[in-house]
Amino acid sequence: MFYRTKLQDHIRVSPELFGLTAEDAVTKQIKKKYDGFISKELGTVIDVSKVDEIREGIIIPGDGASYYDTTFELLTFKPEMHEVVLGKIRDIADFGAFIHLGPIEGMIHVSQAMDDFVSFSKEKVLSGKDSKRTLKVGDRCRARIIAVSFREVNNPKLGLTMRQEFLGKLDWIEEDREKPKKGKKEADDKPEKKKGK
């Protein structure tokens, strides 16, 4: 999920940026410090939304840089358990598919790709035995997050599933919506029995 997160930090502005206004120099340093930053608490930092407040700067002897106590807002992406996400298949291996979700990537294990027995072909395609559905690089999909791991902070791992209703390749979802529900069509075709007295 995307968040706007307000932070307060002491931002170091190096002497080569002293020619800029304090706001431009501080904003430039915040972007440099937080660009691509990943943590369990914040998620992945996408960009600096705005700088709210820059207090008076101080210079620490022997450093030469100025430090500004600054309040600012970041746009972040933090994956949440059970969240439904849209993405594009980036790569397929015999054990599953890697899906690009924008600022982060997830993995769909072969057992979670579809509700069918799945086989892998040399052309990097996952195919369902009974459904004949295929999943290949470039397909747009909807998946649910079922595992989040920040064990390696710079490389968080997301586990995804597409085995639930209205999940999977977008074409499959559309096909499923167009199919009449099992039992509903039969019930609609049967004449109603009238109650007698």
Where exactly are the structural domains of the chain?
Answer: 2-77, 84-178
Q: How far apart are CA 196 and CA 115, in angstroms?
A: 46
Identify the architecture of domain 84-178 in CATH. Beta Barrel (2.40)
**pLDDT, mean of residues 43-50:** 90
C-alpha distance from residue 114 to each of 29, 60, 73 (Å): 45, 59, 39
**pLDDT, mean of residues 154-174:** 89
Please tell me the predicted confidence (pLDDT) of residue 193: 56
Give φ, ψ of 144 to 5 degrees. Answer: -115, 135
- Average pLDDT, whole number, for the chain? 87
C-alpha distance from residue 27 to each of 10, 19, 44, 58 (Å): 12, 14, 18, 17
Q: Is the pLDDT of residue 93 over 50?
A: yes
Q: Is the pLDDT of residue 184 over 80?
A: no
**Other C-beta atoms within 10 Å of 184: how many?**
9
The class that CATH gives domain 2-77 is alpha beta
**pLDDT, mean of residues 122-139:** 90
Write the burial class of residue 44 (CB in 10 Å: 0-12 exposed, 13-18 middle, 19+ buried). Answer: middle
**pLDDT, mean of residues 104-111:** 92
**pLDDT, mean of residues 77-95:** 93
Q: Is the pLDDT of residue 107 over 90?
A: yes
**Other C-beta atoms within 10 Å of 144: how many?**
18
**Dihedral class, residue 143 (left if φ above 0, else alpha if ψ from -120 to 50, else beta):** beta
**102 falls in which pLDDT band (50, 70, 90)?**
confident
The mean-pLDDT minimum among 65-74, 131-140, 188-197 falls in 188-197
Coil, strand or helix at 9: strand
CB pairs under 8 A, 24+ apart, for 133-139? 133/168, 133/169, 133/172, 135/89, 135/92, 135/97, 135/169, 136/89, 136/92, 137/89, 137/90, 137/91, 137/92, 138/88, 138/89, 139/88, 139/89, 139/169, 139/170, 139/171
Please tell me the predicted confidence (pLDDT) of residue 154: 75
- pTM, two decimal places: 0.72
Which has more pLDDT, 180 or 85?
85
**197 falls in which pLDDT band (50, 70, 90)?**
very low
Coil, strand or helix at 113: coil
